[in-house]
Structure 1
Amino acid sequence: MGKVLVTGGAGFIGSHFVKRILRADDIAEVTVLDALTYAGHIENLGEAFLSPKLRFVHGNILDADLVDTLVREHTAIVHFAAESHVDRSFFAGGAFLSTNVLGTQTLADAAMRHGISKFVHVSTDEVYGPLPEGSASEADPLRPTVPYAASKAASDLVALSYFHTYDVPVCVTRSSNNYGPYQHPEKMIPLFSTRLLRGQQVTLHGQGQHVRNWLHVEDNCAGIDLVLRGGAPGEVYNIAGGTDFASKELTKHLLRLCGADWDSVVYVPDRRSNDTRYSMTWTKLAGLGYRPERDFEDGLAETIDWYRRNPDRWAPLMRNPHAAPAALATAGKEAHAH
């Protein structure tokens, strides 16, 4: 496999993926390119810096010169870097389009020029839009309803267009909702967990009826790894197989594990364009050997335990969600772990 460039590798899913592939014997080097915005933290990589194979570069995927220099040195790209929070996309649509669409195009351009052997573009089930019943396959139309999902759908199509037009070996993965350690507390599971652990209330939209498939981040990373190694260029692979929960049902599990009760829950009016249900098939990825392995109960308990044991990682973000990570001050423009 050689040298792999991972964009957004200091983020939640990206950092888990980096740690996974660093353990592989056929990976010679992993370079993480991350802008370290509010959701990316160098601390997420933690013990990965003990590996002599890890290189960290602080930079933005919109920096075409930097991207070109890095892509030239690598054999494969796994592209996680994205603006990713639905609510933020309501008032910052331009940033989502710029990073998610133009950033993907910048990477794909460089991949075309330098003959990359595989380009894995990481996306989301939200591009399919709401499904009152049934499950979306990779061949189903894209019907995003919010600016975030629309920007990801557009970036999917941009990436795939470079396969059809220029033969860039692009694969797209679309996963359901991930959970696990290190996730920024703007997302539901870490947000509810950190608030409940502090004895605070949480809010449920509508009647708590919105259904999502919850997949442990390690299972998603295993699926992405399979696509990196065996995915057919030009193909899309759904990564699902977690556990379906309405938000009220998920809240029940969080209350129990955090030692709280329903007095801690406040119902609020539903937010705009809150899709009622997402669902995907994952038969295609199963053909590559994918099988989700993490039990939801165990995975959720381990996740909450991480937040319970690591308030130093998330408490500052609750005060100022846009704060830069403290480690950035000493990380410098580029850090090598050798």
Structure 2
Amino acid sequence: MRILVTGGAGFIGSAFVRNVLADQYPGLEGAEVTVLDKLTYAGNLANLQPVAEDDRYTFVQGDICDAELARELVGKADSVVHFAAESHVDRSILGGADFVLTNVLGTQTLLQAAMDTKLTKFVHVSTDEVYGSIDEGSWDEEFPLRPNSPYSASKASSDLIARAYAKTHNLPVAITRCSNNYGPYQFPEKVIPLFVTNLMDGLTVPLYGKGGQIRDWLHVDDHCRGIALVLAEGRAGEVYNIGGGTELTNVELTEKLLEATGRDESFIERIVDPRGAAHDQRYSVDISKINAELGYSPRVTFEQGLAETVAWYRDNRDWWEPLKARSVIDR
């Protein structure tokens, strides 16, 4: 099998690539992987260094909006796993144009390229943020899309385009929607690596408002395993939620990070939430469908995953220190 992975130098995409080339996923053993990545601020070839010498790995620097390049690379692949996206909420609030260009037009460009090939599967990787916010219960895959930020609106738009190509053109497209990811190699503007690295350096951590927002935390390896299941066995035209099953308020998360780094509450800096009323209060996905159809359930407990993640950042300062100056805080 030949897999084209867009955004494969990013946090989640690179984890998927490393695991595929390590033959971690049943049904994908021996797969050849081509990574297409523009290498924007969040794309980092160091994330792929562990597999850089693998004969089954090829890297191409390029833009998913480049129709000619997309057609060439998709034409050489049996399947596509589409991670490439602008994904930072606060950046989208500062300016939404790049999010629409990459997330919407880029996805459409890849899907159009797929129409001219005999692609086995196109997995479009999305986010639970497309659902908006939910006070109680959990979203299933039929829940209406009600995005509240330019980022989530652009992802919801790309989801609908992917669905349209599946329904109109009978393309073998499946969509995944994940909860908040964490783990090694995550760009240090995101909350867990930002807080961990700040606390390691004796700096304060910024907590928006009262910190009452609730997120479901998913280890990147569990997320990628779910994507691999959808790629290997998921039904075309379907949406699959992938969650971690650990819901925490931002305050609860911060307390765990303080404990893990040996700091106390004096390191919390409470600031006004720039998102205001637009800050989604709670995310929670129902994973019954992917569990019933594909046998997915999270394996990495939050306690284990967080401890290993903190240890990774402690041991890999040379990876994250150069990136900190380029980060925009995500609280």
- TM-score scaled to structure 1, two decimals? 0.93
Matched, 1:301 2:307: yes
Aligned residues: CA RMSD: 1.1
Match of 1:216 in 2: 219
Matched, 1:276 2:275: no
Match of 2:20 in 1: 21
State the shift of 1:137 in Å. Answer: 0.4
Q: Give the secondary-structure state (helix, strand or coil) at the position aligned to 2:31.
A: strand
Q: Give the secondary-structure state (helix, strand or coil) at the position aligned to 1:174.
A: strand
State the shift of 1:242 in Å. Answer: 3.0
Conserved 8 A contact 2:162-2:173:
yes
Match of 2:197 in 1: 194
1:274-317 Cα shifts (integer Å, max 9, x gaps): 11101110001002110110011111011111111111111111
Conserved 8 A contact 2:219-2:244:
no
State the shift of 1:8 in Å. Answer: 0.3
Match of 2:157 in 1: 154
1:315 maps to a residue whose letter is E
Q: 2:62 aligns with which of 56, 59, 63?
A: 59
Identity %: 55
2:280 maps to a residue whose letter is D
Distance 2:104 2:282 in 1: 25
Gapped regions of structure 1 (runs ≥ 5) = 323-338
Match of 2:114 in 1: 111
Q: Give the secondary-structure state (helix, strand or coil) at the position aligned to 1:183.
A: coil
Distance 1:235 1:280 in 2: 16
Distance 2:38 2:7 in 1: 7
1:167-197 Cα shifts (integer Å, max 9, x gaps): 1100000000000000001110001001000
Matched, 1:165 2:171: no
Q: Give the secondary-structure state (helix, strand or coil) at the position aligned to 1:50.
A: coil
Gapped regions of structure 2 (runs ≥ 5) = none
Q: Give the secondary-structure state (helix, strand or coil) at the position aligned to 2:125.
A: strand
Match of 2:326 in 1: 320
Distance 2:151 2:16 in 1: 22
1:254-286 Cα shifts (integer Å, max 9, x gaps): 001111100000111122121110111000100
Match of 2:7 in 1: 8
State the shift of 1:56 in Å. Answer: 0.4
1:19 maps to a residue whose letter is R
Matched, 1:257 2:257: no
Distance 1:7 1:113 in 2: 18
Q: 1:144 aligns with which of 140, 147, 150?
A: 147
Which of the pair has the greater relative contact order for Cα pairs under 8 Å at 6+ separation? 1
Distance 2:20 2:325 in 1: 34
2:103 maps to a residue whose letter is N
1:16-67 Cα shifts (integer Å, max 9, x gaps): 0011111336443100000110001000012112321000001110111111
2:289 maps to a residue whose letter is K
State the shift of 1:115 in Å. Answer: 2.1
Q: Give the secondary-structure state (helix, strand or coil) at the position aligned to 2:116.
A: helix
Match of 1:94 in 2: 97
Conserved 8 A contact 1:127-1:149:
yes
State the shift of 1:231 in Å. Answer: 0.6
Match of 1:332 in 2: none
Conserved 8 A contact 2:34-2:58:
yes
List structure 1 segments (4+ residues) > 4 angstroms apart after TM superposition. none
